[in-house]
Amino acid sequence: MRIILTGSPGTGKSRIAIALSEKLGFALIDIKRIACTRKLVGKSREVDLGKLAAALRPLARKKDFIAEGHLACEIRLPADFIFVLRTSPATLRRRLAKRHYGKKKLEENLMAEMLDYCVWRTEAVYGRKPLELDTSKRSVSGCVSELVKAIKQKKKRLDTVDYSPDLKRHLKVR
């Protein structure tokens, strides 16, 4: 089984992917680590998506893995399940502030989350709707349980996430 976990920075992808890979006994593919170790990150911190896709091409021959990273919504990988992890803007703001994100980077990531960027990008790249999981009020183990249940039951839908009210408030404040 090939599982993709993507979403905005701060949604819990890495921690959840580690726990899920341990629970299922699957190899974990850290997309960000591959981009960094292969020196695919330029001076402007942009990743060369063409080169990253080429570096990940061997996944087509692999089975039973979890590929994790926010760039998984930008490049098509072999996938049986695609999950986009979501987090409320208020929770995401706290998490990214703890990481000392600059104001511009923090705002860009909040806006991407409120505009459903990873969901829309995933659908465009993979040609199908991903399953969304709201991690805002769930523990890592709670998220893993929901993902495992979705996989076992071959669910076509998990959470319905709509942060447009947050977006409206955010735009009014500006």
Tens-place pLDDT, residues 100-156: 999 999 999 999 999 999 999 999 999 999 999 999 999 999 999 999 999 999 999
Banded model confidence at residue 173, pLDDT cuts 50, 70, 90: low
pLDDT in tens, 66-76: 999 999 999 99
* Residue showing tokens 């896709």: 53
pLDDT for the residue 166: 84
Q: Which residues contact 92 (CB under 8 A, 6 or more apart)?
A: 8, 10, 11, 109, 110, 113
How do beta strands 131-134 and 65-68 pair? unpaired
One-letter amino acid at 168 equals K
Residue written as token pair 């990273």: 69
Given pLDDT bands bounded at 50, 70 and 90, which one contains residue 174?
low
pLDDT above 80: residue 44: no
SS3 assignment, position 80: coil
Distance, C-alpha 174 to centroid of its chain = 27
Query: May I ask the CATH architecture of the domain 2-28+63-173?
Result: 3-Layer(aba) Sandwich (3.40)
Sheet holding 27-30, edge to edge: 27-30, 65-68, 2-7, 81-86, 131-134
Torsion, Cα of 95, 85, 16, 1 (10° steps):
-160
Worst-scoring range by mean pLDDT, 11-25, 32-46, 90-104?
Answer: 32-46
The pTM for the full model equals 0.93
